[in-house]
């Protein structure tokens, strides 16, 4: 029982840290080789943090999504959201994009999600 509680507490802490735009890994460079937005470029201003948190909460609350979908990167910069990572299906991809669009507004979401071939 205690072990299960500890695991859930650790997961909750990780989700909170991710939703705040923090990383549990070593900091990466400011952009990748292609010049795309990376997770470490998450803005620290309150509105971008809250935008990321709201999208993350909506994604995690949707229990129909896979673990991969729950773990996509959500990066907010100046009100524009970039979604990155792998999901299991086109339906998951659309569901996450819809949640981000609902929070950020139409035209403010860049979808770089990929559907895994597994």
Q: What is the pLDDT of residues 58-93, one digit of tens each?
A: 999 999 999 999 999 999 998 999 999 999 999 999
pLDDT digits (tens, 9 = 90+) for 25-39: 444 444 454 556 555
Contact 53, 20 (CB under 8 A): yes
- Domains of the chain with bracketed CATH: 2-25+39-115 (3.30.70)
**Residue closest to 78 by CA, chosen among 37, 17, 114, 112:** 37
Using CA atoms, how far residue 14 sits from 21, 40, 107, in Å, is 11, 16, 29
User: In this structure, what token pair is assigned to residue 99?
Assistant: 């949640």
pTM, entire model: 0.65
Higher pLDDT, 14 or 105: 105
**Residue closest to 115 by CA, chosen among 51, 95, 55, 18:** 95
The predicted pLDDT at position 15 comes to 67
Distance CA 45, CA 1 (A): 39
């Amino acid at each position: 029982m205690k072990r299960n509680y500890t695991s859930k507490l650790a997961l909750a802490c990780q989700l909170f840290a991710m939703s705040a735009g923090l990383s549990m890994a070593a900091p990466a460079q400011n952009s990748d080789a292609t010049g795309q937005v990376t997770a470490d470029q998450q803005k620290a201003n309150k509105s971008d943090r809250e935008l990321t948190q709201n999208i993350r909460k909506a994604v995690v609350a949707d229990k129909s999504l896979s673990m991969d979908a729950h773990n996509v990167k959500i990066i907010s910069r100046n009100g524009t959201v970039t979604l990155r990572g792998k999901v299991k299906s086109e339906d998951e991809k659309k569901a996450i994009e819809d949640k981000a669009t609902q929070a950020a507004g139409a035209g403010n979401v860049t979808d770089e999600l990929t559907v895994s071939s597994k």
